[in-house]
Amino acid sequence: CPAPGEAFYGQDAQYARSAPSFTDNGDASITDSVTGLMWQQVPTTTSYSWADAQNYCETLSLADYDDWRAPSLKELFSISDFETGWPYIDTAFFSLIQTPDMKQEQYWSSNFYEVGTTHGGSPSAFGVNHGTGHIKAYPDGSNGSPRARKYVRCVRGEPYGSNDFVNNQDGTVTDNATDLMWLQDDNGVAIDWENALTYADGFSFAGYDDWRLPNIKELQSLVDYAGVYPAIDTSYFNITDDDSYFWSSTSAYFSPQSPNYYYGWYVAFGYAVGPDGEDVHGAGAVRFDTKAEGGPAGEEPERIYNYVRLVRDVSN
């Protein structure tokens, strides 16, 4: 691994992370001791519109409980596993539908897309693709289209993932929900992935010199899915460009057939646009793109130059 001061220092894998802690309860449920949530281990093979998925979970009886619900997007993303990828979930605990195409492992959350519509005017809701790792807003299926139907994995327990921000009055913001401290300002200019890592290396601010580029799950924890634009709480955070995307320190690869980590994950705090510049995946989407000019193309329009918001661990 690169050392401090060397190119590409500060990647996700170079920092210790809180390991997930799952327990198989032996009754088709999984408990996550980190979040306190209990999950449906084996999702139904039936796909649903967004509204029908909410109803399915609300009427589910499983493992002697009847208080199941559809998970929020942050809850659903909390079980994502970026250690290996394809699929982006620990299949030692969680079963997938095993569709022929891993790209179809799309699971609804409870979050409707409140900012606008996607895919040419379709009412949409957010989901996580546990095959490819993405968060995207999908047409909600209210028009009856079978192509809009997705799977759902139900959850029960106290809601998880709500932010508890504190303005420290020194240009930093602490989220007591995650024990992370963030810079209130972004870096002010869009840069490529290598320069994003370089920007963080040795950065000193507010008396701390252990700032770093956040991993993708940390960065996604900042997203506000309540219908604000850009998709971040601007009463705490300043943002240079409302339409901006932000780099994470987490690498990605295109597919199991192309397993080279040429890509980096980002969060779109602005509209996640398609080739025509229209919103296709929603403000708050999580996607990846090539790390540098001339790199392999991804599926989305190239977004090589993105912004940076640094983070540090409060426990440090």
The tens digit of pLDDT for each residue in 227-273 reads: 999 999 999 999 999 999 999 999 998 888 888 889 999 999 999 99
**127 vs 93: CA distance, rounded Å:** 20
pLDDT at 258: 84
pLDDT at 56 over 90: yes
4 cis-preceded (ω within 30 degrees of 0) = no
What's the pLDDT at 254? 86
Per-residue confidence (pLDDT) for residue 29, from 0 to 100? 98
pLDDT at 307 over 80: yes
At 19 the pLDDT is 77
Q: Which of 84-88, 148-152, 283-287, 299-303 has the lowest mean pLDDT?
A: 299-303
- Residue 227's region, left for phi above 0, alpha for psi from -120 to 50, else beta, is left
Looking at residue 155, its pLDDT comes to: 98
C-alpha span between 77 and 74 (Å, rounded): 5
Q: Report the percentage of the chain scoring pLDDT > 90.
A: 82
Q: Can you tell me which residue has the tokens 């009754």?
A: 27
Report pLDDT for 16. 64
Residue 271 is predicted with a pLDDT of: 97
Residues of the chain with CATH 3.10.100.10: 22-156
**pLDDT higher at 91 or 7:** 91
Which residues on neighbouring strands pair with residue 112, listed in sequence order? 125
CA atoms within 13 A on the CB side of 108: 31
CB 58 within 8 A of CB 69: yes
Which pLDDT value is given to residue 28?
A: 98
**When comparing pLDDT for 8 and 172, which is higher?**
172
At 100 the pLDDT is 74
Q: What is the pLDDT of residues 16-28, one digit of tens each?
A: 667 789 999 999 9
* Confidence band of 13 (pLDDT split at 50, 70, 90): low
Residues 225, 268: contact at Cβ < 8 Å? Answer: no
pLDDT at 171 over 90: yes
Give 220's pLDDT tier (boundaries 50, 70, 90): very high
Q: Architecture of domain 22-156 in CATH?
A: Roll (3.10)
Distance between first and last Cα of the chain: 22
What is the rounded average pLDDT for all residues in the chain? Answer: 94
Task: Report helix, strand or coil for 94.
Answer: coil
Buried b (16+ CB within 10 A) or exposed e, 169-194: eeebbbbeebebbbbbebbeebbbbe
Residue 222: the pLDDT is 98
Q: 260 or 210, which is more confident?
A: 210
What pLDDT is stored for residue 260 in this prediction?
Answer: 86
